[in-house]
Amino acid sequence: MILHFIFVIKEEDRDKRQFEFEYVKKMGEFYKRWIMEKFGKDYEIQCDELITRPRSILQKLDTHTLLRDHEQRGKDIYHFYLTHFKPWWTDCTCEGYHAENFGMVFWQRPKEANDTLFLAEKNCTTVSHELLHELLRISGHKKFLQTVHDIWTKHLFEQLEFEQYGEDFQKTDGKPMFLTMNTSQLNL
């Protein structure tokens, strides 16, 4: 199985955002280990950039454009798009979208260069949200939408801590490099 992270970036921003793409590659390797540990599934990880150029208002990038890209790349590969725009429609409060073998999140740009904590807090957590939807779905979990949203609500409003992982991909109480939704509440 292949999990392909695609960093969607504007052509004019590419040079300024290389640090983020390097983080995406590390995050991909982290999620490879995390998925194996939590779900017993071994994914081959791929990471690429999808460079976008300015388009007319009638040709704006959105979820339907990425779904078409996903189909062209092969629907049997799990494509996960990290985008510079919010989806026009989503059923997730984290500004993400998922479908079978397809994930998408709005990737927030840090205000300060090289801010890995921001990337972990704002982006890595939303990636885990959408990954959990798909991983629970393929595991046969009947309420995969509601279960993930219930845990997300606890993170936002009930002080449920995100799981923290260091550069070595191990849980840590120190400064995290990666943050994921708390999976202790799942019946895996």
Which pTM value belongs to this model?
A: 0.92
The single-letter code of the amino acid at 50 is L
The single-letter code of the amino acid at 60 is K
C-alpha torsion sign, points 94, 174, 4, 143? negative
Fold of 2-185: Collagenase (Catalytic Domain) (3.40.390)
Average pLDDT, the chain: 91
- For 51-76, what is each residue's pLDDT tens digit? 988 766 556 676 778 888 888 888 89
**Which distant-in-sequence residues (6+ apart) come within 8 Å of 142 by Cβ?**
none
57 neighbors 82 (Cβ within 8 angstroms): no
Tokens representing 11? Answer: 């052509």
Question: Residue 52's pLDDT is what?
Answer: 87
Instruction: Provide the 3-class DSSP secondary structure of residue 68.
Output: helix
Each of the 188 residues of the chain gets a pLDDT tens digit; together they read 999 999 999 999 999 999 999 999 999 999 999 999 999 999 999 999 999 887 665 566 767 788 888 888 888 999 999 999 887 777 777 888 888 999 999 999 999 989 999 999 999 999 999 999 999 999 998 899 899 999 999 999 999 999 999 999 999 999 999 999 999 988 66
Indicate the domain borders of the chain: 2-185
Q: What is the DSSP string of 11-24?
A: GGGTGGGHHHHHHH
Q: Produce one character per residue of 61-84: b if its CB has 16 or more CB atoms within 10 Å, e if not.
A: bbbeebbebbeeeeeebbbbbbbb
Tokens representing 4? Answer: 């392909």
82 phi, psi to nearest 5 deg: -110, 105
Q: Looking at the DSSP assignment, which residues form a beta bridge with residue 112? A: none
Strands 163-165 and 178-180: antiparallel
Question: Residue 186's pLDDT is what?
Answer: 83
